Amino acid sequence: MKPTRIDRRTFGKLAGGAGLTAVVTGPSLAQTGDVVKFGAPLPLTGPLSPEGIKQQRGYNLWADAVNAKGGIKVGGKTLKVEIVYVDYASNTPRAVQSAERLIAEDKVSFLFAPFGSGATKAASSVSEKYSIPMIAPSASSAQVYDQGYKFLFGLLSTNDSVTEPHAAAITANPAIKRLAILARNDLFPLAIAQEMEKSAKARKVEIVMFERYAIGVLDHASAITQMRAANPDWVFGTGYINDLVAMRKQMNDLGVKPLAISMIAGPAYKEFTTASGPLADNIASSSWWQPSVRYKGKDVFGSTEAFNAAFAAKYKGDEADYIEAASAACGAVVQLAMETANSADPKAVREALAKMDEETFYGKVKFGPIGQITTLQPPVFQIQSSKPIVIWPDAIKQGSLRYLSR
């Protein structure tokens, strides 16, 4: 599959009429040579397209902001940003092929990672092979970063940084004694489920069920029937938007009524709440970022408030979720590294990324020795009256956790 630059008309179709625009430079800019090229393999079609489009929205917002200010100033030049997109149709092997072609044929200097831990892990071998930095906005699992690679950097913190405060919040109620887990059998959803199992056991919660479902499966009736028989006080489901919408509806249909329901990562996206309707209420979740945080930084946005305003202006009043924010932060972080290195050379920028310790609109960004961010404090939230309400940490707390009636 040959990488293509997606023009406005094509992307409008891929985005399902979402009113998005791709960041594509015209021939006059390319001819000047004053451009830095980023490659982004994304699942713009297929079952993961909602998530892929979110990443593109974040990348586009950052590139628009940079280019509106003239570009990135390095080495005595001001470089405009061009992003080359490839739709890998939610197929991980194609994501790897796309990353290879973006570097070898389109001659990109930097890569934005595909969606999720699995595809990011697979594609990271390509960036390492070519010594091209790849920045990941949607990969948190340790298996992505424990490969000994030097050119992979990720903006989501470890899975236990999510499950520990989440488990602490849920189990504050002493009636929570039995947990049932239903996890998508995919790298991140399974890894976060296994981490939650550890966090629950550490709090003396009994695991009464741990079942996996195959990628693409939307009929959970058999597993949920088993769940009902196990009579859990707490249910934890993992997967993506379509998976978890189906899971929640089938729990309701089959009469599963725990005191608490947690799901990751679907409830972080407004599409989940829209599709689930009233059934979304009182579902707890966690994300790596919320628009209610307040940070100031040296990046192109300058503050969380400014980022939120720019996002709402570009996307018709929408509020960014953690994937969209992390995706914009990927560009902002590479830009800061380029400016620190005073260079667009990938190896020089890689060194600046490895040493980075900067405040940004997304929070403080410092990478550990394996390239994963170490400075985030992922919020715990709950959908209440169709809105995400932060319940932890206290600094941005908006309300208290509500339990379900049985």
Q: Does one domain contain both 272 and 323?
A: no
Domain annotation covers residue 402: no
Domain annotation covers residue 3: no
- Please state the φ and ψ torsions of residue 147, each to the nearest 5 degrees: -90, 0
Domain annotation covers residue 355: yes
Residue 98: predicted pLDDT: 98
Q: Does one domain contain both 14 and 144?
A: yes
> Is the CB of residue 251 less than 8 Å from the CB of residue 260?
no
- Read off the tokens for 315: 């996307």
> Is the CB of residue 3 less than 8 Å from the CB of residue 105?
yes
Q: Does one domain contain both 20 and 95?
A: yes
Print burial letters for 161-188: b (CB count within 10 Å at least 16), e (below 16): bbbbbbbebbbeeeebbbbbbbbbebbb
Number of domains into which the chain is organized: 2
- Read off the tokens for 25: 């430079």
Q: Could you give the CA distance from residue 265 to residue 244 in angstroms, rounded to a whole number?
A: 8
Q: Does one domain contain both 268 and 322?
A: no
- The one-character DSSP state at 384 is E
Q: Does one domain contain both 177 and 254?
A: yes
Q: Could you give the CA distance from residue 353 to residue 338 in angstroms, rounded to a whole number?
A: 9
Q: Does one domain contain both 97 and 217?
A: no
- The one-character DSSP state at 216 is T
Domain annotation covers residue 2: no
Domain annotation covers residue 253: yes
Residue 406: predicted pLDDT: 82
Q: Does one domain contain both 85 and 167?
A: no
Q: Within 13 Å and on the Cβ side, how many CA atoms surround 362?
A: 32
Domain annotation covers residue 330: yes
> Tens of pLDDT along the chain (406 residues)?
333 343 333 333 333 333 333 334 333 333 346 999 999 999 999 999 999 999 999 999 999 999 999 999 999 999 999 999 999 999 999 999 999 999 999 999 999 999 999 999 999 999 999 999 999 999 999 999 999 999 999 999 999 999 999 999 999 999 999 999 999 999 999 999 999 999 999 999 999 999 999 999 999 999 999 999 999 999 999 999 999 999 999 999 999 999 999 999 999 999 999 999 999 999 999 999 999 999 999 999 999 999 999 999 999 999 999 999 999 999 999 999 999 999 999 999 999 999 999 999 999 999 999 999 999 989 999 999 999 999 999 989 999 999 998 8
Q: Does one domain contain both 250 and 392?
A: yes
CATH number, domain containing residue 229? 3.40.50.2300
- Residue 113 burial by Cβ neighbours in a 10 Å radius (0-12, 13-18, 19+): buried
Q: Which domain holds residue 172?
A: 160-287+379-396
Q: Name the strands in the sheet holding 178-184, side by side, starting at the edge strand that comes first in the sequence.
A: 206-213, 178-184, 234-238, 260-264, 283-286, 380-384, 387-392
Q: Does one domain contain both 278 and 174?
A: yes
pTM of the model: 0.86
Q: Does one domain contain both 266 and 170?
A: yes
Residue 27: predicted pLDDT: 31
* DSSP H or E run through 136: strand 134-136
Domain annotation covers residue 210: yes
Residue 30: predicted pLDDT: 38
Domain annotation covers residue 405: no
Q: Does one domain contain both 70 and 212?
A: no
Amino acid at 144: V
Q: Does one domain contain both 384 and 243?
A: yes
Q: Could you give the CA distance from residue 86 to residue 383 in angstroms, rounded to a whole number?
A: 34
